[in-house]
Chain A
Amino acid sequence: MVEIPESLLRRSAEAKAKALGVPVEQVLAEMKGEGPPVVVEPPADAEEAAPEEVAAPEAEVEEAVSEPEPAADEAEVAADSEPSSEPVVEEAPAAEVEETPAAVATVVEDAPPEPESNGDGGGNGKVAGLVSTRPVVPPTGTPEGVRTQRLLTVVKARAIQNVKAEPTDKVNTWPHLMLQEFGALLLITGLMVIMAVVIHSPLLEPANFNATPNPSKAPWYFLGLQELLSYFDPQIAGVTIPTIVGMAGFMMIPYVDKNPSTRPSDRKFAIVLYSIFLAGSATLTIIGVLFRGKGFNWAYPWRDGIFFDDLKDWVHFE
């Protein structure tokens, strides 16, 4: 038989002695098989535990870990029956083993619960597991006289069993995502370098306040706006539309769109609306870039040439 270290024995004995209210040395002696069995009154916590279990048989006490005991079946029957059932010897899980494996403990009780204490409702139905300090037949392999059960914890019945992690299909960021990102960075870097080698940034004549070019165009990302300005009275629509409706409106999208779904089929209106915005701004920008000539009047790039200095040295239609 494996020799149990003295320190472990002592710790166990201390716990038991505390629970039983007897001197440590006495328990220790018993554990070592040197002394008589400790005989005490059923400890208070064991007494309390029993009615709790019996008073709330429907408590969803899911797990129990216990030594196999011959009376286990009876105990289960007893636990399932009415609270006022006749005293039975409970030696095993007073609970139905149901779903999850996160085990706790069990009630091991060989003293019949007192019938009158059954009805006092002392149990809140949430004590999932207790380990009594009452002597039980030790499982084979345990040294004679060693009693290691004690109250570990009280687990609320519903607290842990319902934690269910939804299985999601995940992959490791490294290497899957990071390699992809690295590829994207290389690609965009390559694109930029090629653009930089092939297309030169424009540099026109030095700034001259007295020579207004015709047409004067804003940077391309504002050209849709400039195009819009040419249709409407600037004071009313020119900037009211883009700034107020545009920026403020854009920021408010998540608070206006109360539709919780992200499925495209549920969001037809939003998608159509955004697509109109996208197509509209693209159209306005392209018109502003390519189809506006002298005096910001309509021009065909293939007939009148490009009036967009960013591309002046690059795009030719001759």
Chain B
Amino acid sequence: MANGNGRVGLMERVKETNEKLWNSQLAESILRPGSPFKQGYSDSPRNRSYVVMNNVLYHLHPVKVKRHGVKLSYTLCLGGLSFFLFIVLTITGIFLMFYYTPTAELAYADIERLSTDVAFGSLVRNIHRWGAHLMVLSVFLHMSRVFYHGAYKPPREFNWVVGVILLLLTLLLSFSGYLLPWDQLALWAVTVGTNMAGFVPVIGNQVKFALLAGVEVSAATLLRFYVLHVLAFPFIIVIFMAVHFWRVRKDGGISGPL
């Protein structure tokens, strides 16, 4: 529509461009063809199903879940929260990696610098640390919740085994991160921890040697823990998480007997 003097108004142009953008192939391709958000979402049982079906979350959730499983008091969202904490820890961890050098000379100074020189450095480091503690806690509580509901019973036996491995990996992730600030707390907590690993029957000393890259904590240990912490353990835990989530879906969804 033209305005008084026969030219196309600015708002008209904006509207037109906007429509063009939304109808472009790029915009069209972002959402799945069946996504109810394409034509504007309206609430209906069919659209509620389509939201999940046309979403990456379909990997995690079925279209419908048992009503009792949705009750907050049933799962307390602990498994999901553990996963979310892992994501938060990954994001904050990547941030921290920009400012951290895993050498005995620089590590401590880098952490100090993080708290004083880097914007939000202190906040991100704190979130990373408390998030890690929370994740250990939530994984453990998740395991307890599963036990009390007997949710490890067939056909979920193996997923319980995977879960215990995930707990172990969570502990290892947290423990390997403990050394990185390279202060007295880190050094001696890891010394005590790896000494305990040395008491493991038969292979204890080998485990300890492999963890420490030597017979006691040293600069080499720092690099080893760093690589384990930022690469090796996350890589392994993601694989086990994928199996874990897949089995949750296949074995009948959120908790409860199949």
Contact = CB atoms under 8 A, between A and B. Distances in A.
A167 B175 CA distance: 47
A169 B64 CA distance: 10
B125 interface: yes
B126 interface: yes
B178 interface: yes
Interface of B is mostly: helix
Contacts of A260: 153-154
B174 interface: yes
Nearest to B148: A271
Interface of A is mostly: helix
A313 to B, nearest CB: 12
Interface stretch (B23-31, B195-203, B223-231, B236-244): B195-203
Contacts of A278: 144
A262 B150 contact: yes
Interface stretch (A20-28, A32-40, A193-201): A193-201
A207 interface: yes
Contacts, number: 200
A150 to B, nearest CB: 36
- The residue among A172, A177, A191, A244 with the most chain B CB atoms within 10 A of its own CB is A177
Interface string A255-288: 1010111111001001100100010000000000
A218 B193 contact: yes
Contacts of A229: 196, 199
Contact of A192 (B80, B130, B184, B197): B130
Contact of A184 (B57, B77, B186): B77
Given A207-B186, A254-B156, A262-B150, A174 B51 contact: yes
Nearest to B171: A221
Interface string B121-150: 011011101110110100010001001111
Nearest to B192: A218
Contact of B130 (A195, A207, A259): A195
Contacts of B150: 261-263, 267, 270
Contacts of A243: 200
Nearest to B194: A218
Interface of B: 45, 48-49, 51-52, 57, 61-68, 70, 72, 77, 80-81, 84-85, 88, 104, 108, 111-112, 115, 122-123, 125-127, 129-131, 133-134, 136, 140, 144, 147-154, 156-158, 160-161, 164-165, 168, 171, 174-175, 178, 181-189, 191-193, 196-197, 199-201, 204, 217, 254, 257
Given A178-B61, A254-B157, 11 more contacts: A169-B67, A170-B66, A171-B64, A180-B72, A180-B77, A218-B192, A239-B196, A247-B168, A251-B164, A254-B156, A278-B144
